[in-house]
Structure 1
């Protein structure tokens, strides 16, 4: 069952993130405080999927009033290939449409073969007409990858 993510889900979602091989976690943004700040700004657009009484999928989804972005889209390896990712994406897209958001983007690591196949199968377009840039404002916000 897909539902809106709340801060009360944090411990289970964090455990899910930590269970996925190759998953990148940011030391500040993905802390309880960072996720709580994100969810306060975007209270209705993030999702979790609950199966057998536990969270098995999650999407952080937020927008700036113009464009939305998905972060940390994941499904527990045990529950993959059951349509959970698709249901969560559809849930978040529906919530974004309710808020009159017309576009959503995401970043997928090149090495994330499973994730990239998922987005291609879902009909998402990989942009080749632009470059992605970022500028680090807080060097303490490190990305750590699960092995």
Structure 2
């Protein structure tokens, strides 16, 4: 049995999209006080190794993903689907677009981080073929801030 996914027009973000993308990320609970999402978008757009992909239907931004690489591994951040349009296959479409973007640049491995309290997405990533890898992550704020969980 083949499941037909809905169509989304996928494109890189434009200047006029930034405010709507930030609003979507906030609506999805993806932003944190210590990360300025507009800065993250600007940084992704600054070089050739990252972008923010948006998925539109009838002009409305329904989904996004920030995808980039360090020359060796690809990374995904800010995968978001409008709360009013979840469970329609848009997350899968955006992950497919991110994977395609990385493959076109010769990147063969994609990694992503999931916060421990975000248990709802674990089944989603497993359904896409992602496996959990045990790692210990060390972090340090270079501006002297205290670590955050």
- Aligned residue number for residue 86 of structure 1: 92
Question: In the alignment, is residue 73 of structure 1 matched against residue 89 of structure 2?
Answer: no
Unmatched 5+ residue regions in structure 2? 1-8
1:41 maps to: 47
The match for 2:133 among 127, 138, 144 is 127
Shift of 1:85: 0.8
Cα displacement (A) at 1:139: 5.1
Unaligned runs of 5+ in 1: none
Q: Do the aligned residues in 1 keep the contact of 2:52 with 2:65 (CA within 8 Å)?
A: yes
Aligned 8 A contact 2:44 2:68 in 1: yes
Match of 1:19 among 4, 19, 27: 27
Change (3 A) 1:54 1:139: farther
Distance 2:35 2:108 in 1: 29
Contact 2:20 2:61 in 1 (8 A): yes
Counterpart of 1:115 in structure 2 is 121
1:8 is matched with which residue? 16
| Residue 52 of structure 1, CA deviation | 3.3
* TM, length-normalised to structure 2: 0.81
TM-score between the two structures when normalised by the length of structure 1: 0.82
Does 5-14 or 61-70 show the bigger shift?
Answer: 5-14
Q: RMSD of the alignment, in Å?
A: 2.2
Change (3 A) 1:108 1:7: farther
Q: Count residues with an aligned counterpart.
A: 139
Choose 1 or 2 for highest CA Rg: 2
**Which protein, 1 or 2, shows the higher relative CO under an 8 Å CA cutoff with sep ≥ 6?**
1
